[in-house]
Structure 1
């Protein structure tokens, strides 16, 4: 008998509905998607005898294809699950976005899967038992008993519509893991223990120092430090690319999002007097760049893709007025109907009176008279969600000064963008425009002194007052050097992509009137 064994664990996470290597806004090829990942999976299976494949959550939501499949073709098998079945996944874990369509839709999707969905800390409020039935699984691989425990971020009630999660208790993942890891080791006799946690790290994996507000949303570090007996921690949710690091001896990996990379863990085990022990473990990320997509996965999803493309080009609403962008720089110099529309949708969804947003790219075309879903995703190109932060008047002014730094100081010639927003890459998405306040930016003044008027409800903004402001999740986390937002109270989160919110607004209202109240402008002396 061979007393050495190699096991390879492959992880996908935060696929977010991406099967085809495609940007749906431009219809151009992109280095993403499950079809490309499939080619890597098949290659790994050819090269290694013992391979486990686990999805770590946020599989079924995020692209027009995924949205169309659930909203308009729900009578057919879900294409993401069909692809996962074809790839013979061993297990999946629930991500937060699995709940975006409610538990009825989710349970229907679970029934279609040929693999178990694991979650130990999603409990039935009435019984205290795992809500979806299976907290873990035991898989025997080459004689090794592998325990796989599923955990999901317990922060979901802070984002999700209450009706979508009725009856579910979101227990603490660390305390839950302590209970089940002991059970798997002592009762089930697991030789190898893998935790797949749809969550990330609130602390630096190397130093343990907090890297974000310690809300409990991302407890990966605590799982490694406080739970004895974990060999490998598969993570996700934050869309980070992490590999090659151990925390307290626990190997971690996180494979980004959209199918950009495949997480790979290689474990060497040795038989020691009848019990297998891990003697070496490494993790890495396999990129899909340049990888040919797997034809069987493309073929399996082709009819869904054709229907999605047709739907993308079908008008979903009508605009009375003009929301076309003809000059992106000019659009950032004074209030305009497109930005006002996006801000007003954000305000209506969250029921707050102040909002900010950006035009993400100079290629953003604006919205034509007859709006299609493709027009929406061509303008709102990022899979952002919304957060409402409670900030001070001083925070608001500081944020506006940060945006005002987008322009070079005016010297009498052409208005130009500051090099700091162009290098090393264009960052037009870091210039925000606001609704619900009145303000003037004077670009003749030095950076940091450009907000020459700032009012709310007809009165000067109180620098020590508190204001609830809706913005995208990237900005709310301080992205783009908006450090004034970091660690501010989160009043509300909306987990649905903004592009979906905009589309839903057109579907509900049919006709939208372009308005512009000219609440802000850029001037120069």
Structure 2
């Protein structure tokens, strides 16, 4: 080789080195600049996968945020160290080196999360303390471990990401994500190098405009194949993505694989978010949409097809347009693996072994590996595919492929430090937001016994809804009708979670407590129904209970744990009993199964038996109003009121200042269960709340960790002689106290969608209850604030600027708000001052033109 050639080569290498050095210098300088909201991360097509993210043991900060502006979350280049990958000398060489050869074998690992619901960090905003049972920051530890075991990974999420905790509410309604800004959840996914994420049903809760802003700001591809623009008849989102991955085969050779990824959402979003979606989008059947898309994905070069579905597994029976179709999706030809969610359940698990062609040991449905990784980041889904290049294409070896789950370490404080740091600003702002005091409760509000007796956590929700609607409908024709309210316990230990209960001590009530009472971002709605409709509504709710045998002396399970507690509506303003020796009239989907069954007994309004043709106005939420619930679907009037249920509760507490959440016992079990050994489970901790109560007794710890086994004891009701109503022998049934003289049952307090409450000790005499009700639930004389006015109250009703901006519209209401303008003393005086200043700036922003977006 000549010296001339070597000199030229040396010169060329020097120039390359100089160029690389200059690039690194520029990048280093740019990294030191303050990131603007418009900053974007590296193009995902050139992004290098991070390896071995640092993991530390850390307790999240609980102090309130200071007065600094929110900063943009770091890009992956700023937060992780990329692993070294081979650098090709030229494109031809790289292509040649990565081209598969006949018989080449690769172990591919698909990692997945689902239903994170803005549980970004390991923190319970309702209890205002760290929690080791939730959070993507903890799931990230498992992600790192799984990657260390096998670096050939694809990481995806199946949806319900931006709604679910006060952090989600804060970033959607108080300090909403702006154009060009990356939502903290997707910023975290970007940091963890997610390859794609599906769009779930709760992504639509804040409206299409907000969702489109979030989608545009995300550097992680957000996919959906079955939501169609109603005007253009074209897909509203990117229907699929093909990710090219460089993997290492079993012989340690590099090879390229192209993974096609698509996702779907239940068509029922058109009911659940009707106000946001009607006339704007249509939704195709999920199975048909995926089936038609598979050939397109293959034609685009995909070697493997991964479906990321936000849909439960369902069963073997398939109906076009149904909600839970993952069983059918796993059966489609051309689907190599399925990641699913929506049900907040786990697969593989023993529950599904009853279905045909399901192997819970291998984690497969009809031979296809499937995972459903729980909720809130509590599990990581792991699908291991063994693939071989045969006859010019990659084929999955089903006998060597499987799906499994890994649970986060709930005994350890180990988290991914990068996620903690990334979330720091938003987390602290959310903590400051939820600590805003809105009122005081004279008694604890818990939901431990909400499924077996009338409950204060549901009561306060119904009281607030009645208060709001009575003011809203004053002077209207609807306002002249009897007003009722429907609410359900949202947190009642569902999905076998002993921590999923509301537990609010007596004393100050903050926004975090209201969010704990009503966890969903629903909007109030009113329905006009008949007495017959009301009865069917309650017959559906009665599915919460198992049918019991009145002649059986052995223990019987009282509560149907497969029934969704958010469908157990308690309707206040009427009194009624459940005869659970009768079979259910409807199944859990609302299908009529026992036409002659009649569980609902002694249904009365103001002490009088209700006539089937009598009309009522019932306040509920948009989820219930837009569904197919028996009775509800017959409503002759169905109207959204454009104020969130949670905000109605906040406004009610602010108005009343001090509330008494005592339940009014307007429903009970009929005496047909007298003397039976009826058992149920709730959190074991609830045994400490029994005091001297006789209607519930503690037996022993339950086989399910964290739960206890309790007995429900039927007690004769306190009967008040009714001198105004003559009863026939058939009507002479023990009743709960009536509400005579009251137009509505606004005499009690409530709960929210996911809640259940504590047992009361000794119940008070009826007359005392009436007196308390009259003294503690006085509706305001002025009409409730309009949505625009309450937007400021919701955002930060406690900031001086917010109070001033609303004071002109409702001076009497805001004078009460100002009395609660200070935060609880949870930190140093300096920190408190900075926090109040920061909240003041947010309130000022609201005053200068913040327009609240609609939510579910």
Q: TM-score, normalised by structure 1?
A: 0.76
CA contact (8 A) 1:393 1:465 kept: no
Give, in whole Å, the separation in 1 of the partners of 2:340 and 2:278.
22
Q: Deviations over 1:88-147 (max 9, x none)?
A: 111111101111111221122112211211112112222222112x21111223322221
Most deviating of 467-476 and 85-94 = 467-476
Most deviating of 244-253 and 304-313 = 244-253
**Alpha-carbon offset, residue 346 of structure 1:** 5.7
Q: Does 1:102 align with 2:207?
A: yes
Give, in whole Å, the separation in 2 of the partners of 1:112 and 1:507.
33
Instruction: Give the aligned partner of residue 491 of structure 1.
Output: 633
**Alpha-carbon offset, residue 249 of structure 1:** 2.7
Give, in whole Å, the separation in 2 of the partners of 1:492 and 1:78.
40
**Alpha-carbon offset, residue 396 of structure 1:** 3.2
Instruction: Give the aligned partner of residue 270 of structure 1.
Output: 388
Give, in whole Å, the separation in 1 of the partners of 2:506 and 2:456.
10
Instruction: Give the aligned partner of residue 167 of structure 1.
Output: 280
Match of 2:372 among 239, 249, 254: 254
Q: Deviations over 1:470-515 (max 9, x none)?
A: 8899999xxxxxxxx9984773999x9xx97324542588424759
Q: Does 1:365 align with 2:504?
A: yes
Instruction: Give the aligned partner of residue 758 of structure 2.
Output: none
Give, in whole Å, the separation in 2 of the partners of 1:450 and 1:48.
56
Most deviating of 448-457 and 17-26 = 448-457
Most deviating of 295-304 and 458-467 = 458-467
Give, in whole Å, the separation in 2 of the partners of 1:3 and 1:329.
56
Q: Does 1:139 align with 2:283?
A: no
Give, in whole Å, the separation in 1 of the partners of 2:347 and 2:576.
41
Give, in whole Å, the separation in 1 of the partners of 2:565 and 2:115.
26
Q: How does 1:336-415 map to 2 (within 5 A)?
A: 339-345=458-464, 353-358=484-489, 364-365=503-504, 368=507, 371-379=509-517, 393=535, 396=538
Instruction: Give the aligned partner of residue 128 of structure 1.
Output: 233
Instruction: Give the aligned partner of residue 292 of structure 2.
Output: 179
Instruction: Give the aligned partner of residue 200 of structure 1.
Output: 312
**492 and 120 in structure 1: CA distance in 2 versus 1, 3 angstrom threshold:** farther
Give, in whole Å, the separation in 2 of the partners of 1:394 and 1:126.
38
**Alpha-carbon offset, residue 335 of structure 1:** 7.4
Give, in whole Å, the separation in 2 of the partners of 1:230 and 1:372.
48
Instruction: Give the aligned partner of residue 119 of structure 2.
Output: 18
Q: Does 1:44 align with 2:139?
A: no
Instruction: Give the aligned partner of residue 403 of structure 2.
Output: 283
CA contact (8 A) 1:12 1:54 kept: yes
**464 and 255 in structure 1: CA distance in 2 versus 1, 3 angstrom threshold:** farther
Q: Which runs of 5+ in 2 are unaligned?
A: 1-100, 248-255, 349-361, 470-477, 493-500, 549-554, 583-597, 669-716, 720-856
Q: RMSD over aligned Cα, in angstroms?
A: 4.8
Instruction: Give the aligned partner of residue 188 of structure 1.
Output: 300
SS at match of 1:491: helix
**Alpha-carbon offset, residue 32 of structure 1:** 1.1
Match of 2:415 among 277, 293, 302: 293
Aligned residue pairs: how many?
486
Give, in whole Å, the separation in 2 of the partners of 1:48 and 1:502.
45
Q: Deviations over 1:412-440 (max 9, x none)?
A: xxxxxx9956999xx99999754031237
Give, in whole Å, the separation in 2 of the partners of 1:278 and 1:232.
9
**Alpha-carbon offset, residue 189 of structure 1:** 3.6
Instruction: Give the aligned partner of residue 65 of structure 1.
Output: 167
**Alpha-carbon offset, residue 463 of structure 1:** 8.5
CA contact (8 A) 2:488 2:567 kept: no
Instruction: Give the aligned partner of residue 501 of structure 1.
Output: 645
Q: Does 1:305 align with 2:427?
A: yes
**278 and 419 in structure 1: CA distance in 2 versus 1, 3 angstrom threshold:** closer
Instruction: Give the aligned partner of residue 191 of structure 2.
Output: 86
**Alpha-carbon offset, residue 38 of structure 1:** 1.0
Give, in whole Å, the separation in 2 of the partners of 1:384 and 1:241.
26
Match of 2:338 among 233, 251, 254: 233
**Alpha-carbon offset, residue 83 of structure 1:** 0.7
CA contact (8 A) 1:334 1:520 kept: no
Q: Deviations over 1:283-321 (max 9, x none)?
A: 111111246211110111011111111111112x346xx
CA contact (8 A) 1:17 1:61 kept: yes
CA contact (8 A) 2:446 2:503 kept: no
Give, in whole Å, the separation in 1 of the partners of 2:218 and 2:537.
47
**298 and 492 in structure 1: CA distance in 2 versus 1, 3 angstrom threshold:** farther
**209 and 524 in structure 1: CA distance in 2 versus 1, 3 angstrom threshold:** farther
Give, in whole Å, the separation in 2 of the partners of 1:248 and 1:78.
37
SS at match of 1:511: helix
Instruction: Give the aligned partner of residue 680 of structure 2.
Output: none
SS at match of 1:18: coil
Give, in whole Å, the separation in 2 of the partners of 1:162 and 1:245.
38
Match of 2:222 among 117, 122, 130: 117
Instruction: Give the aligned partner of residue 826 of structure 2.
Output: none
CA contact (8 A) 1:92 1:117 kept: yes
SS at match of 2:363: strand
Q: How does 1:308-323 map to 2 (within 5 A)?
A: 308-315=430-437, 317-318=438-439
Instruction: Give the aligned partner of residue 270 of structure 2.
Output: 157
Give, in whole Å, the separation in 2 of the partners of 1:391 and 1:473.
18
Instruction: Give the aligned partner of residue 89 of structure 2.
Output: none
Give, in whole Å, the separation in 2 of the partners of 1:259 and 1:229.
29
Instruction: Give the aligned partner of residue 666 of structure 2.
Output: 520
**440 and 61 in structure 1: CA distance in 2 versus 1, 3 angstrom threshold:** closer
Give, in whole Å, the separation in 1 of the partners of 2:334 and 2:430.
45
**Alpha-carbon offset, residue 27 of structure 1:** 2.8
**Alpha-carbon offset, residue 455 of structure 1:** 1.0
Give, in whole Å, the separation in 2 of the partners of 1:468 and 1:259.
40
**Alpha-carbon offset, residue 26 of structure 1:** 1.8
Q: Deviations over 1:59-98 (max 9, x none)?
A: 1111111211222222464211211111111111110111
CA contact (8 A) 1:324 1:338 kept: no
Q: TM-score, normalised by structure 2?
A: 0.49
**327 and 106 in structure 1: CA distance in 2 versus 1, 3 angstrom threshold:** closer
SS at match of 1:101: coil
Q: Does 1:454 align with 2:603?
A: yes
Instruction: Give the aligned partner of residue 511 of structure 1.
Output: 655
**Alpha-carbon offset, residue 469 of structure 1:** 7.7
Q: Which runs of 5+ in 1 are unaligned?
A: 407-417, 477-484
CA contact (8 A) 2:546 2:560 kept: no
CA contact (8 A) 1:101 1:164 kept: no
**Alpha-carbon offset, residue 149 of structure 1:** 1.6
**Alpha-carbon offset, residue 156 of structure 1:** 0.5
